[in-house]
Amino acid sequence: MAGEAVASFQAHKIPPTVTASISSRIHGRHLGLPVRAGHSNIAADPAPRREQRKPEKALNLPSSISSILHLNLDTHLPTNLLSVLHLNGNDHRSPKDDVLSHYLKNTPTASPKENIASIWREIHGARDWAGLLDPLHSWLRREIVKYGEFAQATYDAFDDDRFSRYCGSCRFGRSRLFSQLGLAHNGYEVTRYLYAMSHVEMPTWMERSLHAETWSKDSNWMGYVAVSSDEETRRIGRRDIVVAWRGTVTPAEWSKDVQQRLEPLHDAGGKLQHDRHKDVVKVEHGFRSLYTSKAESTRYNKTSASEQVMEEIRRLVKMYSDRGEEVSLTVTGHSLGGALALLNAHEAAAVGIPGLSHVSVVSFGAPRVGNAAFVGELEELGVKVMRVVNQQDLVPRLPGAFFNEDLGKIFPVESLDWVYSHAGVELEVDTKSSPYLKQSMTDLPAFHSLETYLHLVDGLGSVVGAFRREVRRDVALVNKACGLLRDELKIPACWYQPSNKGLVRNAHGRWVVPERDPEDIPSPLRHRAPPPSPSRSPNSQGAVPYLVAA
């Protein structure tokens, strides 16, 4: 029967005990506290009660695996979306799933754009986000989503088709990345593309073309630098430089990428060698290699990702601070990209760039990167780190799932030099909080997806524990590259894909991979804006062919 699934889902009335429990999740925690209708300013809020956000035991019927992994999945949560969303009271003429469908199709996605100039430093962690997280301040929520969209762009634009000559590059030229992805509304402009290679064998981080002739044999597009427009700058109170780092796509790939070996961040003779720490500052070998590797023989990594990004940050900071503007750096990334973001922010703060007034990181599902000494150095340098972590995502537990920053609390160990530690403040989101998401163990990889993160952040309500009914970000985006949305929403899984996987029919009637638009073909000459100062000599290589023979 066509209506079988729907009938079955409608038949699941929420039992009274569960309703009571949900009700307690929505209201119980703040009994006696006024429910805040909105955030027009930063009101003094009670101290964060993050430890209270653990779900009630009574609600949990976790599977044994879920239990072992402490995922706290409500695998038997009733699936009546309409009840959860309070959508079934108004219209008795239409079948209920059509009410839901109508609701999801006909609410605007655009969020208000308040002027946040007066409190931008607090939003970027100047007071370690005290009072802003629980419940989440709406201005902060919108900024987190904005930076998350910048990180998501590195996935959406990445060419991972190994049959493409440009596999591993960005599908769009720098100047039209945001317009092609529908991100122009964020008010930033891309100024440089970043490329990375790795001397360390990391089998799956890199996508390679099967073609003999390809744009690059050694490097992958790894992110970009962007800067706020004049209009956005006025809204956010300072010129904001964003660096977005691409991660790897699946947790399975990710876990293979990590060698689980800490090595000193600073070279022994390097000027950054601090000796005021008892412990040596160490970071994960593989992350460091990706951030610092270069080779003269390559076309895109004659300089390392680190050198590329630092050169661009220096250029932009100088340009805007010379104009008397206040300049901030916000580094973002998901998964592996979140690890690179941390290394990047550390370096930018450590080298000391005149005119750069604030460095922060907004990462999503990021792993641990270094040891406690690394975390300590980040704090000393004033780098403010917000890590958004989905409770059901395994990646943020790696490396160091067993031995980590908690070790010192359990055993009296002399040095935490050899264990991985998380940096900064964690903003926890929870797959269970969204009535739109499936919660089975088979969906585990999707819990790590950046789109899932953005949906969950968007749903973080002004009331603790409640998923915002009025989510603005299109719920359908969750299924771009996975199938986590409940069937009732009728959004196909993995829908983000070009027509016929990009094949087009040529004049002979044959289906072929089309040549890229010249503007979108990678080129070492076009990946950054023209040099702003006459002191830098123009590139003397002349016309560079864009393909390298095998």
Catalytic center residues = 335, 393, 448
Spatial CA neighbour of 430 closest among 17, 58, 60, 100: 60
User: Which of the 8 DSSP states describes residue 46?
Assistant: P
**Residue choice 491, 516, 523, 526 for contact with its own copies (CB under 8 A):** 491
Q: Is the bond preceding residue 135 a cis peptide, omega within 30 degrees?
A: yes
DSSP 89-146: SS-SSS-HHHHHHHHHHSS--PPP----GGGHHHHTTTTTTTTTBTTBPHHHHHHHHH
**492 binds its own copies, rule: CB under 8 A:** yes
Q: How far is CA 366 from CA 224, 240, 290, 482, in A?
A: 18, 22, 15, 19
**Residue choice 56, 91, 114, 213 for contact with its own copies (CB under 8 A):** 213
- Per CB under 8 A, which region of 4-12, 306-314, 382-390, 417-425 contacts its own copies? 4-12
Give the shortest CB-295-to-its own copies separation in angstroms.
14
**Residue choice 163, 175, 380, 415 for contact with its own copies (CB under 8 A):** 163
The bridge status of strand 262-264 relative to strand 356-364 is unpaired
- Per CB under 8 A, which region of 194-202, 283-291, 386-394, 485-493 contacts its own copies? 485-493
- Residues of this chain, 65-104, that bind its own copies according to CB under 8 A: 95, 97-98, 104
| 58 contacts 143 by C-beta, under 8 angstroms | no
**8 binds its own copies, rule: CB under 8 A:** no
**Residue choice 497, 531, 532, 536 for contact with its own copies (CB under 8 A):** 497
The bridge status of strand 384-390 relative to strand 504-505 is unpaired
**474 binds its own copies, rule: CB under 8 A:** yes
DSSP 248-285: -S-HHHHHHH----EEESS-TT-TT---SSSSPPEEEH
- Pick 18 or 85: Cβ nearer its own copies: 85
Residues in contact with its own copies, total (CB under 8 A)? 53
- Angle between helices 450-459 and 138-156 in degrees, nearest 10: 160
Strand order in the sheet with 370-371: 262-264, 282-284, 370-371, 420-421
- Pick 163 or 380: Cβ nearer its own copies: 163
**Residue choice 506, 519, 531, 539 for contact with its own copies (CB under 8 A):** 506
The tokens of 470 are what? Answer: 């009025």
**Residue choice 35, 65, 415, 495 for contact with its own copies (CB under 8 A):** 495
**161 binds its own copies, rule: CB under 8 A:** yes
- x/- mask, its own copies, residues 170-209, rule CB under 8 A, reads --------------------------------------xx
Alpha-carbon radius of gyration of the chain: 24
- Per CB under 8 A, which region of 146-154, 409-417, 433-441, 502-510 contacts its own copies? 502-510
- Which residues would be at the binding site for its own copies (CB under 8 A)? 1-3, 5-7, 95, 97-98, 104-110, 161, 163, 208-214, 217, 474, 476-477, 487-488, 490-492, 494-503, 506, 508-513, 549-550
